[in-house]
Amino acid sequence: MTDTNVQATSVVADPEIRPVINGGQRSGRGRTIRFMQAVFGNRGAAIGFILVLTLVLVAIFASWIAPFDSDQMGAGKRLSPPDASHWFGTDEFGRDMFSRVVFGARLTIQVGVIAVSISLTIGMLLGLIGGYAGGWLEKILMRSVDVLFSFTETLIALAAVAVLGPSLTNAMIAVGIAAIPFYARVAYSVTLVERNRPYFEAAVAAGAGHMRLLFRHLLPNIIPPLIVVATLGVSAAVLAAAGLSFLGLGAQPPSPEWGAMLSSGRDYFNRAPWIMLYPGLAIMITVLAFNLLGDGIREALDPRQRNT
Amino acid sequence: MLNYLIRRILSAVVTIFVTTIAVAMLIHLVPGDPVQIMYAQSQGTTPEHLEQVRQSLGLDRPLVEQYVMYMQRVLQGDLGHTIRGEQPVLDLLLLRLPNTLLLTGTALLIAVSIGLTFGFIAAYKRGSWVDTSLMTTAILGVSMPHFWLGLILLFFFAVKLQWLPVAGNNLENLILPAITLGVTNAAIIARLTRSSMIDVFDQDFVRTARAKGLTRAAVLYKHALRAGLVPIVTMIGLQFTYMMGGAIVVENVFGWNGVGRMAIQAIFQRDYPLIQGFILMFALVVVTVSIILDIVYVWLDPRIRYD
């Protein structure tokens, strides 16, 4: 994962910034509005938001936008360059590259959402329990998370795919598992901040049970900052899953997954460079969109960065 | 300082210990019978042979005993044999590890030199068009997939211009993969260097150094740079780990004969002893590098040294 996430950890853990993330919860709607203004006042974040929105719309309306079916062989001549009927050219089976890239957006959104949901849910629970429990449970949980964190996500994802076997579903699970330590760390640091707040101490004093303290008091308060971090995490998940598919460990042909398209087209790229141009560009624009949006949110949350 | 280092080494030992447990148990996480899956692609294997493999891997024993057996072998330098070809895993890994370290090391050098320079310039020229264009380039670099940049470089420099060979394992062949891996990571280092240096430029001790009439160069190099480098060195440690991960992909794009390329083949062949060996070795390299960087960190930051 990138520096984005390392910085995000410190941002959401900062007690002065936390109330801003929680939006209106503590001091009315004004803060939420100011936060939204700060995000959209940032040119990069605005561009990121528009790109993400476009991607989502393309994914939803793929069947209307794409002139051909993604798997339709012989939609045009084999390996024909971009022209008026095939905007991105055709591949080695004569499939329309534009239609494949458009349908690929669906898979990419799916990968991003599913992988991040897995890491977010499990990571959040681990961090929450670690931060709440204290003592030996905290030590064991967080030490294990630290150990996992020290091996790049690529290695964890590879180990997961090695166990589960290559497929797009397994790649999503693998990428999701790989990012668990990161979300667990963020959730842990936020939980530590929350459990020292007066409302929590009041709940303890009032005799609330473990379950109530964990899920009624702490959980709702650690979700907002984690959602912010998850926006940043989508770009890393998309990149990692595309990488696995490129290696042949994720989506399998004839799936129009962008990484898999690059992988199957690489034998033809000296004759038909458009085969590698458009899927790669699509991955890059998607990752860029989430990075820009994530950066914008982070800057809006951290006035120090905004001033610089 | 000694205490700090001892603490770090102890934590590294714990990391390796946990890794060995995870690696030894990896095979039990495989859905179904791992031995049958391993040999699914081999022809002419008999049930007797599979049973024999099960026994030799110790899979028929209790988990704790399996772990003890595994550790006894590992401590004697025996990481087992590959399923196909029955070659010693350790020898195969050691044969290719230097290639991966050479690639990652060269890429790190490229990433650090470009990243530090661009980040420093951007911070120094904060708010100017130079800053904006450098940081725009950096965010494009962060968003670019390694494998795509690799394919583009191959297309231009090996196929079109024919300046460099497409694949192989000579030093010539190192150039493109090292640039691919280095450039995308340079973007991350540049972004971090910029924000770290901007923090430092605003600090009181830099203002004091300026106020007492030091030359601009002295303020930059003797005061600001050293303080700004502290978080960057930590980041470079993390970067090395990421780049080792990135190398797995880049090796496969360029056919570079490192451990990453071998690991992917092992996953395809379901060669679990080789996969286990790879993960263990990867963990060892990561932990060793992070300890070395901790020592550099202590040297850079006197606050830790005198703690």
Q: What is the ipTM of this complex?
A: 0.87
Residues 58-97 (B) with a CB less than 8 A from some CB of A: none
Q: What is the mean pLDDT of chain B?
A: 86
Which of B100, B151, B239 best tests the A interface by mutation, with the highest count of A CBs <10 A? B151
pLDDT at B304: 61
Residues 164-183 (B) with a CB less than 8 A from some CB of A: none
Alpha helices in chain B (DSSP H): 2-29, 34-38, 47-56, 63-75, 89-124, 129-143, 146-153, 171-201, 204-211, 216-218, 225-254, 259-268, 272-300, 302-305
In tens, the pLDDT along B175-232 reads 999 999 999 899 989 988 898 888 888 888 888 888 888 877 778 777 787 777 777 8
Residue B66 above 60 pLDDT? yes
HSE-up (13 A, CA, CB side) for residue B9 = 8
Q: Chains A and B: how many Cβ contacts under 8 Å? A: 133
* Residue A160, min C-alpha distance to chain B (Å): 9
Q: Is A242 in Cβ contact with B241 (below 8 Å)?
A: no
Residues 204-223 (B) with a CB less than 8 A from some CB of A: none
Average of pLDDT values for B27-48? Answer: 80
Q: Is B252 exposed, middle or buried (0-12, 13-18, 19+ CB in 10 A)?
A: buried
- Are A55 and A47 within 8 A, CB to CB? no
Query: In this structure, what are the phi and psi dihedrals at residue A115, rounded to the nearest 5 degrees?
Result: -60, -45
> Which chain B residues contact residue A243 at CB under 8 A?
145-147, 249
Cα separation of A192 and B273, whole Å?
Answer: 41
Please name the member of A155, A249, A280 whose beta carbon is closest to the beta carbon of B245: A155
In tens, the pLDDT along B226-281 reads 777 777 877 787 788 889 889 999 999 998 999 999 999 999 888 889 999 999 99
Distance from CA of residue A260 to its chain's centroid?
19
pLDDT at A9: 43
* Residue A163, min C-alpha distance to chain B (Å): 5
Which of A152, A271, A275 best tests the B interface by mutation, with the highest count of B CBs <10 A? A152
In tens, the pLDDT along B133-157 reads 999 999 899 899 999 999 999 889 9
Go through the domains of chain B in sequence order and give each one's CATH number.
2-75 (no CATH), 100-269 (1.10.3720.10)
> Chain A residue with minimal CA distance to B12?
A147
Band of the pLDDT at A18, cuts 50, 70, 90? very low
A308, two tokens? 């610089």
pLDDT at B276: 92
Band of the pLDDT at A28, cuts 50, 70, 90? low
Residues 7-26 (B) with a CB less than 8 A from some CB of A: 14-15, 18-19, 26
Please name the member of B37, B139, B188 whose beta carbon is closest to the beta carbon of A292: B139
Q: Is B244 in Cβ contact with A152 (below 8 Å)?
A: yes
Residue A236 above 80 pLDDT? yes
Q: Is B143 in Cβ contact with A287 (below 8 Å)?
A: yes
pLDDT at A307: 39
How much helix, strand and coil, in percent to the nearest 5, is found in chain A? 75, 0, 25
- Are B98 and B90 within 8 A, CB to CB? no
Q: What is the mean pLDDT of chain A?
A: 84
- Rounded to whole angstroms, what are the CA distances from B100 to A137, B187, B263? 38, 21, 12
Which of B7, B149, B267, B285 best tests the A interface by mutation, with the highest count of A CBs <10 A? B267
pLDDT at A302: 64
- Rounded to whole angstroms, what are the CA distances from B156 to A269, B166, B176, B297? 11, 10, 11, 40
Domain A27-306 has CATH 3.10.129.10: no
pLDDT at B97: 94
Query: In this structure, what are the phi and psi dihedrals at residue A167, rounded to the nearest 5 degrees?
Result: -175, 165
As a whole-number percent, the residues of chain A with pLDDT over 90 amount to: 47
Average of pLDDT values for A151-180? Answer: 90
> Which chain A residues contact residue B246 at CB under 8 A?
154
At residue B88, the 3 state secondary structure works out as strand
